[in-house]
Structure 1
Amino acid sequence: MVEIIDRGVYIYKGKTILGYENKISLEDTERQLKNAGEDISNLSSFLNQDIARKNTIAFDILMKHNKSDEDKKLNIKFDALASHDITYVGITQTAKASGLKEFPIPYILTNCHNSLCTVGGTINEDDHIFGLSAAKKYGGIYVPAHQAVIHQYMREMMASCGSMILGSDSHTRYGSLGTMGIGEGGPELVKQLLGKTYDISYPEVIAVYLEGKPKLGVGPQDVALSIIGTVFKRGFVKNKILEFVGPGIYNLSIDFRNGIDVMTTETTCLSSIWCTDEKVKEYYTIHGRPETYTKLEPGEVAYYDGLVRVDLSEVEPMIALPFHPSNVFSIAEFNKNAEEILKSVEAEGQKQMDNPDIQFKLTDKIINGRIKVDQGIVAGCSGGSYENIFKISEIISSQSMGNDYFNFSVYPASQPIYIELIKNGSIEKLIEAGVTVKTAFCGPCFGAGDVPGNNGLSIRHTTRNFPNREGSKPSTGQIASVALMDSLSIAATAINGGVLTPATEINISDIEMEYNFNDTVYKNRVYYGFKKPIVESDLKYGPNIADWTEMQPLADNILLKVASVINDPVTTTDELIPSGETSSYRSNPLKLAEFTLSRKDPNYVGRAKDVQELERLRQVFISNKNNKDIDNIKELERVFLQAIGEKNIKDISLEDLIKSTQIGSVIYAVKPGDGSAREQAASCQKVLGGFANIAEDYATKRYRSNLINWGMIPFTINTIENSGFSGFEVGDYIFIENIRKAIKDGKENITARVINNKGNIDIILHVNDLTKDEKDIILAGSLINYNKLL
């Protein structure tokens, strides 16, 4: 079904696999292509890695957007930017503090996350009003609430073949439409708004070779989950670009391709791009933008750094069980071995929650030998497509959801989709059957809508099923779970009363679908202000919109205190800063910071504040003001004495050491940052006085970038290299001398001293591959500070 080829591969015209690395036989290849009737006159000149590597679609797009003089270190400028209502306030505030005058490229501000305005009084709508005022003042494009989820609007109105879009949402993926989309934290968008570049080393490019045709009952989520389940745990495509090639592409509709493409985020790849064809051309024509189509395909022979081979005809209906999109089984296998699989999920889930008071249980969903679920949801950028909902309506037509515990909600991804579904009768069929149809909303994807009951199991065609992503709160005794499935199998389950059913077990017709795009609602409701800034207009602030706290530049030395230790194999950004209702406070850095690690390590905030108080006392000590807190001063002196060691007392005075050494908190996690692009996973730590993370590896580039942009040092540690070190514990101090000079000089191996009750031990930390700008941002203390210095 899905096979990984972990070595270089040559592909001819995007359709024929020629061979691998240097093992390719020119004679056999020429014979193979000659028998296929292909022109082979120039073949030998292309069977060269250096030449063929430049024949990928990805290389061509990246080079056209690269502003550097080399193709190994890229400085990218994007064609458009996109944010939603829990990111654009912070981005605008940061850019404003850095001297923003006008949005230099199209910046689309959508409202699809906190659009229900149900938490915190007026604060969500205050953000929306701020967003419209920003679009007016700086010349942006503002999409009001309920009109479209962010990525559907970008597909319909902004994608174009060969372009690049940067979004402050991790699922910024438009590769199937010929646009290379990248999801990053807000500071990277700030850089683009200020005319700066997105700086990366040239990424590896992995071919995703599609062949065959999906069987009836198999949808895009099934294909996506099959790929994620195969590649994620191996880290095979981490921070790489996926280039979709192969004859199987042309057997897929555009909505089917979009559904696969948006889920590539869950593989941890950097971006994606697909070959384009007449179906893509038709898509742009339907959407009134035929000029944006260009045929994209690799050169005659293209070289890829690896390959994922997918036989679409062998893909079965799949399910991703809690608590990750990679926890994948076929529904048939799951139904056959439900008790064994669910016991394993329960055991792993209990460890992830790390809370003995919560009894995580799913085996009670086995009723009379079958899995009975409590809820079905189809929504957002992955599930709410026209094709998905049209097919659901055909399956459910003349059926009944019944009046038992199972309930089913559907969210069309945009108002134009909704209009067409009304016109063709699909909405009527859904409502008659008892399905609840709602407006465009991302809530079910991040825990702000349709929260199931306690101990509930929801099946969803959305993007993620991380712990508490559906909105439950373990701290108050609430727990629920999400399993990801394709909309077809969710519909099949719905007409079976909530009994888990793969769509291949019901009768499905291969129905022709016609789609007409009506953008009248956008013309009537969307504010189009690009290149028309109203400079004299004011930003409109609500009481919850606050400025960033002051951040100090990096001192000569730092003393870190470990405020949390997370030994899970992977830590998601949801665990670092929860989604759901917490997101309503993202416009207020201090209030939002109170939620940091609240569902993973509830004592973190208190510990971090205690360390922050030590830094305040240090500042008082420096200024020679009276200080009555003698015990804390003594603690400072004790730790600093222990840090430098008695033998060094003569070389530097205790007073000078304290003056030159900042005190901040640090989090240790094995592999933090999987999932969302949310910058707040880092900025909240900074607001609480965090100076660094220490990890064996970072799950995504975007989380590491977020740390850097908030002036936090992204240390890594090699456990083998530090074999005599038994690991960090909460309360440990870490003293790093001359850190400012080390960062400035680009030193990658840094000696640090761990100080605890057991004594001192020296370890080696690493800070690898910092660009000059990244070094300067860390030295300045944050991107905001860095921009102020320019």
Structure 2
Amino acid sequence: MIKLYDTGVYLVNGREIIEDSGDAHVALLSKVGREMTKEQARQGTMAYSILEQHNISGSMDKLRIKFDALASHDITYVGIIQTARASGLEKFPVPYVLTNCHNSLCAVGGTINEDDHMFALSAAKKYGGIYVPAHLAVIHQYMREMMSRCGSMILGSDSHTRYGALGTIAIGEGGGELAKQILNRTYDLKRPEVVAVYLTGTPKKGVGPQDIALSIIGTVFKNGYVNNKIMEFVGDGIEGLSVEYRNGIDVMTTETTCLSSIWCTDEKVKDYFSAHGRPEAYEKLDPAEVAYYDGLIYVDLSKIKPMIALPFHPSNTYTIEELNANPMDILKHVEQEAIQLLDNPHIKLDLTSKVRNGSIYVEQGIVAGCAGGTYDNIVDVADIMSGYSTGNDTFSMSVYPSSQPTYINLVRNGAIEKLMNAGVIIRSAFCGPCFGAGDVPANKGLSIRHTTRNFPNREGSVPSNGQIASVALMDARSIAATAINGGRLTSATEIDVEYTKPAYQFSSEVYRKRVYNGFGKADRSIELSLGPNIADWPTFPALTEHLLLKVVSFLTDPVTTTDELIPSGETSSYRSNPLRLAEFTLSRKDPSYVGKAKVVYHYEKMRREANNPADACEDLREIYRSIAQIEGKSSITPQEIGIGSTIYANKPGDGSAREQAASSQKVLGGWANIAREYATKRYRSNLINWGMLPFILESALNFKNGDYIYIPNIREAIESEKATIKAYVIGDTIQAMELILGDLTADERQILLKGCLINYYREDHA
């Protein structure tokens, strides 16, 4: 059972909830014996305390945060380091962990992926970083084991950067924000609201962390209850959960669109750090005697049932029980939703064919990554599957331990043997199944996965090639229960099993022998290893006085994910080459986008070369005549007006932190996005860091795909801190409109004016 409070709440002694009603102050006075303002109580959250310790602005309303450590993987670190190099990088000022858990399949794209790994090793030596070789650990498991610390803050270039259960506020952001930290700058934001997640009760046998997480996501995602807020986990239910169980819930908070998370810590967390050889990393964390929260999610763990998130979002949740009771109606409904989402008449999602004799049968089970591949999950899976078989038909199953130390312990206690004897394939530490680069199902296959996401094509299919497969998210225990039933969808609460719960014994030896730890030992004489696919960023112009935007893509989905803006999977190997990667922009959502954007970019290039773009385009001559009419002139000089492309989307940026969703548009000449709202702070930050204007449209739509939008005096508007910008739609007629930039920090304004973060820091460094 999950309940959302309609008001803010006061939490007294971490247990008693007082709703923020008219007489709340009276109840507070009787409980604590003193008057207290709401602002004083806000300062009682764990989040406030940690943010205050890391804020250097002097104001808790406008934060400027410096993090204790950074983390990136091999899809993101090349671009980040290249950005920082172009901006004057000398050495890494804090521990920066470069893991290799995404582009680990080094046969894909020839030498490309391993070239990136060698780049990272050379960068770790040159600038003083920490290099974790491929297959050794997924990014978040390594950060949990070796870098988390109670009361600390970590910034990662992966959206699932979450270590709240270990007392660390961790935030997933685009690469530009990490580049800022590397260059000794700050992470700037308004003080986020904090929402309590009050856990009580004990989960039923067979209910795992993914079940709890999906229940919460299904309740809060669509209504935006925690959007860009910090989720603070409190309550008596925490003490009954193992640390890895907590980690499994915590990492999935990303799918609520919250900013970050933090949990109360206890003796179990203390034991976790001691077992990992870092007892000094522990500190008891609790809210103050009185803490005020901007909302509260009340979760009775004993009432949670095994869950499934059907395609194509982690919030598309049902209990397995209700799905099995009414499979045809529910699956038909998902198929109908997919028609609009996929927007491809040649592709039809077929889930109802999975129903045979009233039961749902799936083709694949995967337990992997930072969410599924933890020790506790895998030993429970081994207990369920001990003595059983996955069968020798279409159903297959793979398990990916999240780190080599985890793998070693699973070998020691016999869990790996149980799994292999049951027919399970054991893989190395690799994030591939989370983004479509490992264990791709057959066309029209349905895979059940304890991973992080089930967005379209995250399993690796390519609809433009006539392929479609899909993923449903489930907990590892129910996946194992399904496996021993030959792929028949089964809840873990339906089976009889004795969970052995063998103690975990961490071994750091493999890390001592393979991880390169160069923090504090930068050697500028080291040459970077630059493979043939590793390319520098192209040059980007500063923002012009006036701007002419052509709308080259018009997306009307309720939410547009970063996977749709720049696909995962087959594009991953090209993320070190901005020009090659840009060719994939919107390829699954709007295949015509790249060609249209290139035409507009050609016009801008002509303008910069002092040619007249109108010479190449009759339509543009008409646009200039319209602009002259708007300005009340007889004519205008084309060189006065920058030309760029833009996209419209209702709510872009849900999902991954990958900055390439913005930078690829920029490489193709993009100069703005126009949206009703942005799904995440990190996507809006990515736009700004790449010099893309993050416009909000609140009024009625009065433009369409192919229209031009003229924005006079845009540079002056940003310099004078105007939040609302006057613009003109030049389509069949000329229509005035207002675009909103919203709050921008002083640094963000300068980044937009300079044209991108690289330009801003390069000029500052010079």
TM-score, normalised via structure 2 length: 0.98
Partners of 2:299 and 2:663 in 1: how far apart?
39
In 2, are the aligned partners of 1:617 and 1:633 still within 8 Å (CA)? no
In 2, are the aligned partners of 1:383 and 1:462 still within 8 Å (CA)? yes
How much does 1:789 deviate? 1.2
1:151-550 equivalences in 2 (<5 Å): 151-550=140-539
The code of the aligned residue for 1:14 comes to: G
- 1:145 equivalent to 2:131? Answer no
Q: Deviations over 1:42-75 (max 9, x none)?
A: x132643121110000000000000011110000
Partners of 1:16 and 1:112 in 2: how far apart?
43
Aligned counterpart, 1:597: 586
- 1:768 equivalent to 2:748? Answer no
In 2, are the aligned partners of 1:380 and 1:445 still within 8 Å (CA)? yes
How much does 1:751 deviate? 1.1
Q: What SS class does the counterpart of residue 239 from structure 1 fall into?
A: coil
How much does 1:117 deviate? 1.2
Q: May I ask how many residue pairs the two structures share in their alignment?
A: 764
Partners of 2:296 and 2:614 in 1: how far apart?
63
1:612-691 equivalences in 2 (<5 Å): 612-620=601-609, 622=610, 632-645=616-629, 648-650=632-634, 653-655=635-637, 658-691=638-671
Q: What SS class does the counterpart of residue 34 from structure 2 fall into?
A: helix
How much does 1:647 deviate? 7.2
Partners of 1:299 and 1:509 in 2: how far apart?
40
Residues 1:374 and 1:69: Cα distance change in structure 2 (over 3 Å): same
Aligned counterpart, 2:757: 783
How much does 1:21 deviate? 4.1
Partners of 2:28 and 2:739 in 1: how far apart?
50
Residues 1:218 and 1:123: Cα distance change in structure 2 (over 3 Å): same
Partners of 1:402 and 1:445 in 2: how far apart?
25
Partners of 1:686 and 1:353 in 2: how far apart?
25
Partners of 2:27 and 2:104 in 1: how far apart?
61
- 1:747 equivalent to 2:730? Answer no
Q: What SS class does the counterpart of residue 166 from structure 1 fall into?
A: strand
Q: What SS class does the counterpart of residue 94 from structure 1 fall into?
A: helix
How much does 1:25 deviate? 6.4
Q: Deviations over 1:537-582 (max 9, x none)?
A: 1000000000001100000000000010000000000000000121
The code of the aligned residue for 1:88 comes to: Y
Partners of 1:297 and 1:59 in 2: how far apart?
12
In 2, are the aligned partners of 1:16 and 1:246 still within 8 Å (CA)? no
Partners of 2:35 and 2:431 in 1: how far apart?
46
Q: What SS class does the counterpart of residue 331 from structure 2 fall into?
A: helix
In 2, are the aligned partners of 1:380 and 1:412 still within 8 Å (CA)? yes
Aligned counterpart, 1:10: 10
Q: What SS class does the counterpart of residue 645 from structure 1 fall into?
A: helix
Partners of 2:697 and 2:631 in 1: how far apart?
27
In 2, are the aligned partners of 1:46 and 1:301 still within 8 Å (CA)? no
Aligned counterpart, 1:33: none
The code of the aligned residue for 2:118 comes to: I
Which residue among 677, 683, 696 is the counterpart of 1:716?
696
Q: Deviations over 1:360-384 (max 9, x none)?
A: 2111010111000010000000000
Partners of 1:647 and 1:678 in 2: how far apart?
39
Partners of 2:159 and 2:6 in 1: how far apart?
26
How much does 1:14 deviate? 1.5
1:23-172 equivalences in 2 (<5 Å): 23-24=23-24, 26=26, 30=30, 43-45=32-34, 47-172=36-161
How much does 1:28 deviate? 8.8
Residues 1:647 and 1:564: Cα distance change in structure 2 (over 3 Å): closer
How much does 1:390 deviate? 0.4
Partners of 1:371 and 1:17 in 2: how far apart?
42
Q: Deviations over 1:210-250 (max 9, x none)?
A: 00000001000000000000000000100000000000011
Q: What SS class does the counterpart of residue 563 from structure 1 fall into?
A: strand
Q: What SS class does the counterpart of residue 247 from structure 1 fall into?
A: coil
The code of the aligned residue for 1:58 comes to: A
In 2, are the aligned partners of 1:214 and 1:315 still within 8 Å (CA)? yes
Partners of 1:512 and 1:536 in 2: how far apart?
50
In 2, are the aligned partners of 1:735 and 1:752 still within 8 Å (CA)? yes
Q: Deviations over 1:492-548 (max 9, x none)?
A: 000000000000000132433301000100000000100001110100000000000
Residues 1:348 and 1:139: Cα distance change in structure 2 (over 3 Å): same
Partners of 1:420 and 1:384 in 2: how far apart?
13
Partners of 2:6 and 2:600 in 1: how far apart?
46
Partners of 1:78 and 1:6 in 2: how far apart?
33
Residues 1:337 and 1:439: Cα distance change in structure 2 (over 3 Å): same
Partners of 1:632 and 1:638 in 2: how far apart?
12
In 2, are the aligned partners of 1:239 and 1:268 still within 8 Å (CA)? yes
Partners of 2:311 and 2:697 in 1: how far apart?
29
Q: What SS class does the counterpart of residue 187 from structure 1 fall into?
A: helix
How much does 1:343 deviate? 0.8
In 2, are the aligned partners of 1:317 and 1:503 still within 8 Å (CA)? yes
Partners of 1:384 and 1:361 in 2: how far apart?
29
Structure 2 portions without partners, runs of 5+:
none
In 1, are the aligned partners of 2:12 and 2:289 still within 8 Å (CA)? yes
Q: What SS class does the counterpart of residue 482 from structure 2 fall into?
A: helix
Q: What SS class does the counterpart of residue 648 from structure 2 fall into?
A: strand
Partners of 2:395 and 2:268 in 1: how far apart?
38
Aligned counterpart, 1:731: 706
How much does 1:13 deviate? 1.9
How much does 1:642 deviate? 1.3
Aligned counterpart, 2:677: 697
Q: Deviations over 1:163-202 (max 9, x none)?
A: 0000000000000000000000001000000000000000
Partners of 1:215 and 1:162 in 2: how far apart?
31
Q: Deviations over 1:455-503 (max 9, x none)?
A: 0000000000000010000000000000000000000000000000000
Partners of 1:717 and 1:25 in 2: how far apart?
40
Q: What SS class does the counterpart of residue 55 from structure 1 fall into?
A: coil
Q: What SS class does the counterpart of residue 237 from structure 2 fall into?
A: helix
Q: What SS class does the counterpart of residue 762 from structure 1 fall into?
A: strand
Q: What SS class does the counterpart of residue 459 from structure 2 fall into?
A: coil
The code of the aligned residue for 2:677 comes to: D
The code of the aligned residue for 2:728 comes to: R
TM-score, normalised via structure 1 length: 0.95
In 1, are the aligned partners of 2:380 and 2:499 still within 8 Å (CA)? no
Aligned counterpart, 1:20: 20
In 2, are the aligned partners of 1:46 and 1:52 still within 8 Å (CA)? no
- More moved, 743-752 vs 138-147: 743-752
The code of the aligned residue for 2:98 comes to: L
CA RMSD of aligned residues (A): 1.3
Partners of 1:108 and 1:22 in 2: how far apart?
49
